[in-house]
Amino acid sequence: MSGHLAVIGLGPGDTRFLTGEAEAALAGAEILFGYGPYLDRVPHRAGQERIASDNREEIARAGAALERAAAGARVAIVSGGDPGVFAMAAAVCEAIEAGPDAWRAVELAIVPGITAMLALAARVGAPLGHDFCAISLSDNLKPWEIVERRLDAAASTGFVIALYNPISKARPWQLGAAFDRLRAVLPPSVPIIFGRAVGRADESVRIVPLFDADPAFADMATLVIIGSPETRIVERPGLAPLVYSPRSARSAS
Amino acid sequence: MSGHLAVIGLGPGDTRFLTGEAEAALAGAEILFGYGPYLDRVPHRAGQERIASDNREEIARAGAALERAAAGARVAIVSGGDPGVFAMAAAVCEAIEAGPDAWRAVELAIVPGITAMLALAARVGAPLGHDFCAISLSDNLKPWEIVERRLDAAASTGFVIALYNPISKARPWQLGAAFDRLRAVLPPSVPIIFGRAVGRADESVRIVPLFDADPAFADMATLVIIGSPETRIVERPGLAPLVYSPRSARSAS
């Protein structure tokens, strides 16, 4: 008697980023699990149970949701952004792999959402317009040396880089260390985009050259995009400048 | 008398991937520009003009749309997936930078969408669950040596890689060359995911080890995801296997 588990991407902040598929999945769930602030974004429905948990309890949340689904319920886990990008989908897969056989029988639907880098890119132009990568700066789950190697490899071969989880109270120095590392590889003029709470009422965006990039411009709610040497800024009188990475690259620099 | 230009991401295939913001932007446009098959996905509205153009005419399409917007119209360009990922947003920025001053005065809104790699990842589990990158295999706009350097850098430092534009009639050998290159760096067991027409009626997904990856499994409508050495497959009796990349990495291999 196996039920159903949907892992739903809410996109960043505002409900205007919700897809039709995500709305339908939210409406069809009997039980919603999620980090409290994400659950708060979902309108209440009569008869729908809600179970909020802390940000760091991803595996426990996945297990609790799978338990209810395996018992026959229609369960949903809500995730900010896209569930497959540094969010709940991988935690659910990990829990299924490590868990009882009954969890493998649960019908699983991952519902994609607009991840933060797409929303921030859209807000400023097209900084992800050519090859790009996404790196989580958190070293809770991987050694810092891996982050360093990936930053070096990506910057030195011309990728634009989106930095997720750039900074937190428990990880205060990593973003500064990343900027220092990038300054050794990239021109000082490369545009750095700090996007905080994109798509929410308190949204703020700041664009500075790498030379002036300061970790103090970021907090837990910030996504940082590091331009490539080809990334350009187009000034517009009376409007915000556009930042974009051209589709063409001229030579293997 | 400057109008408004929206560059709208339709997401992959089905309308269930449309966001509320994209629906509103489509409804508010007087003129829609786009590649024919993308325009065909948008329901007709009375009084709305439509101008279809070929896939390769991105800069011409951007210019024509900017021209109409600068003359005061509410114009939209529709884009498959997300407009900022190998799509129309960068072309519009390029056109604005190179064009007349009047184009810089056009109010521009980029409306993000679900890009193909997010839809395919959701379909199979969470293959983008740790650091990942997106590379266009097209060498129309960049030298092939740049693609090679980026493939080497990304694979050798443990990124998952999403390959956009993997193959076409005019570019028949690049995907095979990429697989050969990746075989020199990655274990033969690394999962390769071929997703064709994800989210459409004729969707097909194939998962094979790198050892067996064949360019013949892909066409113009295919996105290819290359796992990292950490990417795992979870078998599920009676259900499709899950492919995921765990959030944790144990050592800088």
Q: How far is residue A160's CA from residue A133's CA, in Å, rounded to a whole number?
A: 6
Q: How far apart are CA A197 and CA B166, in angstroms?
A: 34
Helices (H) and strands (E) in chain A, counts: 8, 13
Interface of A with B in 216-235 (CB under 8 A): 232, 234-235
Structure tokens at A8: 């739903």
Sheet holding B204-209, edge to edge: A204-209, A191-196, A222-226, A160-164, A132-136, B132-136, B160-164, B222-226, B191-196, B204-209
B11 CB within 8 Å of a chain A CB? yes
Cβ-Cβ contacts under 8 Å, B150 against chain A: 131, 157-159
| Residue-wise pLDDT tens digits, A147-197 | 999 999 999 999 999 999 999 999 999 999 999 999 999 999 999 999 999
Contact criterion met (CB below 8 Å) for A111 and A8 = yes
pLDDT tens readout for residues B17-40? 999 999 999 999 999 999 999 999
How many residue pairs from chains A and B have C-beta atoms closer than 8 A?
256
Residues 153-212 of A with CB under 8 A from B: 153-154, 156-159
Kindly report, residue by residue over A201-210, the tens digit of the pLDDT.
Answer: 899 999 999 9
Predicted ipTM? 0.97
User: How do residues B178-203 score in pLDDT, each as one tens digit?
Assistant: 999 999 999 999 999 999 999 888 99
pTM listed for this prediction: 0.97
Cβ proximity of B205 and B116 under 8 Å: no
Name the pairing type of β-strands B107-111 and B125-126: unpaired
